Chain A
Amino acid sequence: MSTEYIGKPTSRVDGRDKVTGKAQYAAEFEALNLTYGVVVSSTIAKGRIKAMDISAALQLPGVLQIFTHDNRPGLAWFDKSYQDEDSPPGAPFRPLYDEKILFSQQPIALVVASTFELARYAASLVKVTYETEPHVTDLNQLRQDAYTPSKYKSAEPTPRGDAETGLAQAAIKIEAEYNHPSEHHNPMEMHATTVAVAEDGTLTIYDKTQSVLNSQKYISKIFGLSTKEARVISPFVGGAFGSGLRPQYQLFLAMMAALQLKRSVKVVLTRQQMFSFGHRPATIQKLVLGAQANGALEAVVHEAIAETSQFEDYSENLVNWSAMLYKCENVQLTHKIAKMDVYTPLDMRAPGGVSGMFALECAMDELAYATKLDPLELRLVNYADKDYSEDKPFSSKELRQCYQQGAEKFGWNKRNPKPRSMREGKELIGMGLATGAWEVKQKEASAKATLSVDGTLQVSSATADIGTGTYTIMTQIAAETLGLPMEQVTFKLGDSTLPEAPLQGGSWTAATVGSAVKQACEALKEKILAGLRSAKDSPFEPVQTLEDVVFTDGRVFLKNNSEQSVSITEAMRLAGENVLEVTITAKPKKNQQEYAMFSHSAVFAEVRVDEDFGTVRVSRVVSAIAGGRVINPKTARSQVLGGIVWGIGMALEEESVIDQQYGRFINHDLAEYHVPVSADVHDLEVIFVEEHDDIVNPIGAKGLGEIGIVGAAAAIVNAVYHATGKRIRNLPITLDKLL
């Protein structure tokens, strides 16, 4: 039927607006009497501001104000007011709070002027003298100082059994340390906020965020505003990857300036300043694996140290993957953090999973060579038929199919098991694989659905579309549920006046908001039927329940007699309804707690390494995903492709380099912070394995935003070993490490 959309490749409903420039991003909104704020950033990593000379800058005609810790208005007092929905335990950073410097590039002043150029120039005239204190920014030197946080931000390590005994029994043991550096999200769009102040003083806040409600609560608490006074709008986000999960300081600064000056203010961070806040934390991870001669795991030890800031205890689910991914009785896990003079790390696409499974999956590869097993075989030997860490069955798990279909498509059987055995001219060829997993969650979310008698449906929820395709799949779900053509359906998001939705993160939006959208449309169907029941001239006799009818092609059909139907608009007319409206809240079902819910992947990578130069080219990747029901294969594929590309970056290119003299990220632009370019990306293939799951949520979708990146880096690293016989355990694998 023509109104079946779920599971069909569908182009983005917002695609046209995006490519024509009609879609507006936070920095693109116009506002009355707009002024421009430019942030001055600290040049030292630790110490205090001794003096700040703003006189030269302030004298320039057109400069309205320069906000510093000296002259900022009084603000909320308690840490609680600065905490947001993604805050780790601790005391959140407060911009312009006092003279203390906690990290390099800390915002220390906001220059507001009538033009952007002027604000920028004035910012360069602000003279700051510091009293520096010694900083620590080298995780490697902090191994001894790393500590167990009193409270983990997300998952607590869940060890089991007795790893020591397990290791003692093991016939084969491998032990290795894996490191990766800090990485920054670097979405294309820089963080920006435009606070529009209308003639009557009404505020409209355009912010780059993954949750308008999170931004709204944050500024309401700090500036003492009601939710009505603080309306936050964010219709389009030019990528975020987690960087928009917490309100960033440009929001605070733009708000403060707008309230003080009673004028519209726009603050856009520079690319360099995109290196001044949250990032994926660097980690040092020790893996010890013990196995029987046949490869069966006897023990897994995963000990991780990760960076955090001086003011918050950031941690992520880094090590628990080692407890759930494979069958093993004895698992020992520790996750410590070490305080550095940097900003607090922040969730970045598949936080913890990417890092933790990079280490685990490289270790598994090493174990495969030690046990002389094919890496795929080793994974099958240790296949977990339930989640041993929580002792729960999986709601569904088609990982075996991922291995099988992925291996077949990739041609894994053509791999010569011996390292450095395959070549073409001067190119060494290597094949590697890795497993990936990501947690599936449904949260509580609300949605409103409004159906007009002209047959148009508007559905809305205060979620975000950070490029993932939320607009499109919500439109698909709504259209199919109510049986309307997609062209008649619009989905609204990114407005704090809309019904509540959680942060757009954790790959839960499709499931969470999708369930709410579906239920809202189901409720509309009830209303349409109720209308038909009460209508005098209803064509349906006797009055039906939802079970007896089908909504499709814009009509309601009788199930047992498809000859009998009425158009949805006609049904509303008959009932004398101009508009039908429902708002519902969808909650996860209780029985979910009895299950372990994960998406899985098997990633196969082929690399070609120049034997003289150590340059690595990722010639092919096949990623087979078990992610439940795929709502839109087109946008889903894009998500996974992006994940693979990022995996190439993590394996080979990405590194936020800290200069230890200055305690400062030094390659802070996109010329020197390398992410893959088109020429680095070759043959990528995505397979979605059939996976049916009634437990995860009413839609059966597991979410695909993050699973695509997990495992990609490890597969490439393992392929590099297979190509060269060199095991590189420090990412990224730049050519110098292979020389």
Chain B
Amino acid sequence: MNSFTYTRATTLETAVQDKASAELAKFIAGGTNLTDLMKVNVEGPNHLIDIRQLALKDITDNADGGLRLGALATNADTAYHEQVAKRYPLLAKAILAGASAQLRNMATNGGNILQRTRCYYFYDTATACNKREPGSGCAALSGFNRIHAILGASEHCIAVHPSDMAIALAALEANVNVTGQQGNRTIPFSDFHRLPGDAPHLDNTLQPDEIITSIDLPAKGFAQHHAYLKLRDRESYAFALVSVAAGLEMDGDTITEARIALGGVAHKPWRNREAEDLLTGKSATEENFKLAAAEIMREAKGYEHNSFKIELGKRAIMRALEQAVKMSNKPDSHFHRTSTEPV
């Protein structure tokens, strides 16, 4: 770990200014991802701006009927928030499928969607990685790529985005509010993360001087019909091999709107509008789910160790849709804090 200076930002303006003034500056929120990466010399900021004191922790109603999640609200506080649990249980489930209770207590919403890939090669400075060191190559392409991308990858990078929360936010069509030196702007969630292309070192479209202030959830929460399904190598504390966030609007047996976002398969939360359209106006049958799953995976490409994700992904999509349809609306036991979490 290199030495760095540290300041605590007290206002949004100073935070943004401070960030813009030092090229190697970084914001630190929960620190659960950034400090790990600093310890293994993947991130090397010379200046840390602690933003935890900024007043961005609230979760409030929006005029349009949606909900605003403060960037600095913790993952735990968000998942257990009464309104989130009631109106956006898909999001709550996705958050709670991630990491561990302890990590979720520290992790913030802004930090979560900015967390970096868990690609082994990104983490190990002894290996080639275009994301970590542009131009050095991609060791995963010909290496152990079991956890890597099957959709939207490039010859420069086959890493996947690791966040669970982001997959639900993609399905919910959230908006990310940011503030920079030029003022405020809102980034639709589908434009927030990028595909690697020839610049895999850029995970997203946030500009260097910009800070995430909040995430807006639109009114539609798919509380009646949704599922978050996460498939992984152990029951907890492991990243998704494939995850599916599904949200459906139903009229009787007919699907009137479908949202499907996939995690663990691409450099960003993966959505395919054509596949969703295939389901719109159709009845909720296995055949229709199959068609949608096939459409999503149509252009999927496996590498030496991860081809299984294509079939696994299809099955996961079908199961998630099935669960979303059949959902019973019993209160979910997921939303109770465990004894390790503060109240």
Could you list which residues of chain A lie within 8 angstroms of chain B, going by C-beta atoms?
Answer: 43-44, 104, 117, 120-121, 124, 272, 612-615, 617, 652-653, 657, 659-662, 664, 666-669, 671-672, 674, 676-680, 734-736, 739
In the assembled complex, which residues on chain B have CB atoms less than 8 Å from the CB atom of A659? Answer: 120, 127, 139, 143-144
- How long is the Cα–Cα vector from A638 to B177 in the complex, in angstroms? 51
**Cβ-based interface call for B52 (8 A):** no
Measured CB to CB, the nearest residue on chain A to B238 is: A674
Measured CB to CB, the nearest residue on chain A to B162 is: A671
Known interface pairs A121-B1, A124-B41, A613-B312. Does A666 touch B120 (Cβ–Cβ under 8 Å)?
yes
- How long is the Cα–Cα vector from A652 to B234 in the complex, in angstroms? 9
In the assembled complex, which residues on chain B have CB atoms less than 8 Å from the CB atom of A734? Answer: 233
Query: Interface code B227-245, partner A: CB below 8 Å = 1, 0 otherwise?
Result: 0000101111111010000
Residue of A121, A666, A667, A739 touching B311 (CB-CB under 8 A): A739
- How long is the Cα–Cα vector from A695 to B43 in the complex, in angstroms? 61
Known interface pairs A659-B144, A661-B142, A674-B238. Does A735 touch B1 (Cβ–Cβ under 8 Å)?
no
What is the number of residues of chain B that contact chain A, defined by CB distance less than 8 Å?
34
| Residues of chain B in range 176-204 having any CB-CB distance to chain A below 8 Å | none
**Cβ-based interface call for B6 (8 A):** no
**Cβ-based interface call for B126 (8 A):** yes
Known interface pairs A124-B2, A124-B41, A666-B124. Does A739 touch B308 (Cβ–Cβ under 8 Å)?
yes
- How long is the Cα–Cα vector from A613 to B316 in the complex, in angstroms? 8
Is the beta-carbon distance between B231 and A735 smaller than 8 angstroms? Answer: yes
Is the beta-carbon distance between A671 and B118 smaller than 8 angstroms? Answer: yes
In the assembled complex, which residues on chain B have CB atoms less than 8 Å from the CB atom of A44? Answer: 126
Known interface pairs A272-B40, A735-B241, A736-B146. Does A678 touch B236 (Cβ–Cβ under 8 Å)?
yes
Measured CB to CB, the closest approach of chain B to A341, in angstroms, equals 15
Is the beta-carbon distance between B312 and A672 smaller than 8 angstroms? Answer: no
**Cβ-based interface call for B121 (8 A):** yes
In the assembled complex, which residues on chain B have CB atoms less than 8 Å from the CB atom of A124? Answer: 1-2, 41
Is the beta-carbon distance between A613 and B1 smaller than 8 angstroms? Answer: no
- How long is the Cα–Cα vector from A734 to B231 in the complex, in angstroms? 11
- How long is the Cα–Cα vector from A454 to B76 in the complex, in angstroms? 55
Is the beta-carbon distance between B123 and A669 smaller than 8 angstroms? Answer: yes
**Cβ-based interface call for B8 (8 A):** no
Is the beta-carbon distance between B238 and A668 smaller than 8 angstroms? Answer: no
- How long is the Cα–Cα vector from A679 to B100 in the complex, in angstroms? 11
- How long is the Cα–Cα vector from A662 to B318 in the complex, in angstroms? 39
- How long is the Cα–Cα vector from A666 to B311 in the complex, in angstroms? 26
In the assembled complex, which residues on chain B have CB atoms less than 8 Å from the CB atom of A615? Answer: 231
Is the beta-carbon distance between B1 and A117 smaller than 8 angstroms? Answer: yes
In the assembled complex, which residues on chain B have CB atoms less than 8 Å from the CB atom of A668? Answer: 124
In the assembled complex, which residues on chain A have CB atoms less than 8 Å from the CB atom of B312? Answer: 613-614, 735-736, 739
- How long is the Cα–Cα vector from A175 to B139 in the complex, in angstroms? 38
Residue of A612, A672, A676, A736 touching B315 (CB-CB under 8 A): A612
In the assembled complex, which residues on chain B have CB atoms less than 8 Å from the CB atom of A120? Answer: 1
Could you list which residues of chain B lie within 8 angstroms of chain A, going by C-beta atoms?
Answer: 1-3, 40-41, 118, 120-121, 123-127, 139, 142-144, 146, 231, 233-239, 241, 308, 311-312, 315-316, 318-319
Is the beta-carbon distance between B235 and A667 smaller than 8 angstroms? Answer: no
Measured CB to CB, the closest approach of chain A to B303, in angstroms, equals 13
Measured CB to CB, the closest approach of chain A to B128, in angstroms, equals 9
Measured CB to CB, the nearest residue on chain B to A682 is: B235
* New contact pairs (7) apart from A613-B315, A666-B120, CB-CB < 8 Å: A43-B126, A612-B315, A612-B319, A617-B235, A657-B144, A659-B143, A664-B124
Measured CB to CB, the closest approach of chain B to A652, in angstroms, equals 8
Main secondary structure of the interface of B (DSSP, over half): loop
In the assembled complex, which residues on chain A have CB atoms less than 8 Å from the CB atom of B319? Answer: 612-613
- How long is the Cα–Cα vector from A44 to B127 in the complex, in angstroms? 10
Known interface pairs A612-B319, A659-B139, A662-B139. Does A674 touch B118 (Cβ–Cβ under 8 Å)?
no
Measured CB to CB, the closest approach of chain A to B325, in angstroms, equals 15
- How long is the Cα–Cα vector from A43 to B126 in the complex, in angstroms? 5
In the assembled complex, which residues on chain A have CB atoms less than 8 Å from the CB atom of B146? Answer: 736
Residue of B1, B120, B127, B231 touching A667 (CB-CB under 8 A): B120
- How long is the Cα–Cα vector from A117 to B6 in the complex, in angstroms? 15
Is the beta-carbon distance between A672 and B236 smaller than 8 angstroms? Answer: no
Is the beta-carbon distance between B231 and A613 smaller than 8 angstroms? Answer: yes
Measured CB to CB, the nearest residue on chain A to B233 is: A674
In the assembled complex, which residues on chain A have CB atoms less than 8 Å from the CB atom of B2? Answer: 121, 124
Known interface pairs A43-B126, A124-B41, A671-B118. Does A679 touch B236 (Cβ–Cβ under 8 Å)?
yes
Known interface pairs A612-B319, A735-B312. Does A653 touch B127 (Cβ–Cβ under 8 Å)?
no
Is the beta-carbon distance between B120 and A672 smaller than 8 angstroms? Answer: yes
Main secondary structure of the interface of A (DSSP, over half): loop
Is the beta-carbon distance between A677 and B237 smaller than 8 angstroms? Answer: yes
19 contacts between A and B (CB under 8 A): A44-B126, A117-B1, A120-B1, A124-B2, A612-B318, A614-B312, A653-B233, A659-B120, A659-B127, A661-B127, A662-B126, A662-B143, A664-B124, A666-B144, A672-B118, A677-B235, A679-B236, A680-B235, A736-B312
- How long is the Cα–Cα vector from A739 to B234 in the complex, in angstroms? 16
Measured CB to CB, the closest approach of chain A to B228, in angstroms, equals 15
Is the beta-carbon distance between B308 and A736 smaller than 8 angstroms? Answer: yes
Residue of B41, B126, B146, B231 with most chain A CB atoms under a 10 A cut-off: B126
Known interface pairs A736-B312, A739-B312. Does A661 touch B143 (Cβ–Cβ under 8 Å)?
yes
Measured CB to CB, the closest approach of chain B to A591, in angstroms, equals 48
- How long is the Cα–Cα vector from A124 to B239 in the complex, in angstroms? 29
Measured CB to CB, the nearest residue on chain B to A43 is: B126
- How long is the Cα–Cα vector from A43 to B234 in the complex, in angstroms? 30
Measured CB to CB, the closest approach of chain B to A130, in angstroms, equals 11
Is the beta-carbon distance between B123 and A674 smaller than 8 angstroms? Answer: no
Is the beta-carbon distance between A674 and B234 smaller than 8 angstroms? Answer: yes
- How long is the Cα–Cα vector from A692 to B121 in the complex, in angstroms? 54
Is the beta-carbon distance between A680 and B144 smaller than 8 angstroms? Answer: no
In the assembled complex, which residues on chain A have CB atoms less than 8 Å from the CB atom of B144? Answer: 657, 659, 666-667
Is the beta-carbon distance between B234 and A679 smaller than 8 angstroms? Answer: yes
In the assembled complex, which residues on chain B have CB atoms less than 8 Å from the CB atom of A662? Answer: 126-127, 139, 143
Measured CB to CB, the closest approach of chain A to B26, in angstroms, equals 17
- How long is the Cα–Cα vector from A736 to B150 in the complex, in angstroms? 15
Closest A-B pairs by Cβ, 9 of them: A43-B126, A679-B235, A736-B308, A679-B236, A612-B315, A666-B120, A677-B236, A677-B237, A680-B235
Measured CB to CB, the nearest residue on chain B to A125 is: B2
Measured CB to CB, the closest approach of chain B to A669, in angstroms, equals 7
- How long is the Cα–Cα vector from A116 to B2 in the complex, in angstroms? 12
Measured CB to CB, the closest approach of chain A to B292, in angstroms, equals 16
In the assembled complex, which residues on chain A have CB atoms less than 8 Å from the CB atom of B316? Answer: 613
Measured CB to CB, the nearest residue on chain B to A681 is: B235
Measured CB to CB, the closest approach of chain B to A646, in angstroms, equals 14
In the assembled complex, which residues on chain B have CB atoms less than 8 Å from the CB atom of A671? Answer: 118, 239
- How long is the Cα–Cα vector from A614 to B316 in the complex, in angstroms? 11
In the assembled complex, which residues on chain B have CB atoms less than 8 Å from the CB atom of A669? Answer: 123
Is the beta-carbon distance between B143 and A666 smaller than 8 angstroms? Answer: yes
Measured CB to CB, the closest approach of chain B to A554, in angstroms, equals 41
- How long is the Cα–Cα vector from A613 to B243 in the complex, in angstroms? 12
In the assembled complex, which residues on chain B have CB atoms less than 8 Å from the CB atom of A674? Answer: 233-234, 238
In the assembled complex, which residues on chain A have CB atoms less than 8 Å from the CB atom of B238? Answer: 674
- How long is the Cα–Cα vector from A409 to B241 in the complex, in angstroms? 36
Measured CB to CB, the closest approach of chain A to B324, in angstroms, equals 16
In the assembled complex, which residues on chain B have CB atoms less than 8 Å from the CB atom of A121? Answer: 1-3
Measured CB to CB, the closest approach of chain A to B133, in angstroms, equals 13
Measured CB to CB, the closest approach of chain B to A674, in angstroms, equals 5
Measured CB to CB, the closest approach of chain B to A46, in angstroms, equals 14
In the assembled complex, which residues on chain B have CB atoms less than 8 Å from the CB atom of A104? Answer: 126
In the assembled complex, which residues on chain B have CB atoms less than 8 Å from the CB atom of A735? Answer: 231, 233, 241, 308, 312
- How long is the Cα–Cα vector from A679 to B233 in the complex, in angstroms? 12
- How long is the Cα–Cα vector from A660 to B142 in the complex, in angstroms? 9
Measured CB to CB, the nearest residue on chain A to B319 is: A612
Measured CB to CB, the nearest residue on chain A to B235 is: A679
Measured CB to CB, the closest approach of chain A to B301, in angstroms, equals 16
Measured CB to CB, the closest approach of chain B to A59, in angstroms, equals 14
In the assembled complex, which residues on chain A have CB atoms less than 8 Å from the CB atom of B233? Answer: 653, 674, 734-735
Residue of B2, B40, B235, B311 with most chain A CB atoms under a 10 A cut-off: B235
- How long is the Cα–Cα vector from A653 to B234 in the complex, in angstroms? 7
- How long is the Cα–Cα vector from A32 to B127 in the complex, in angstroms? 39
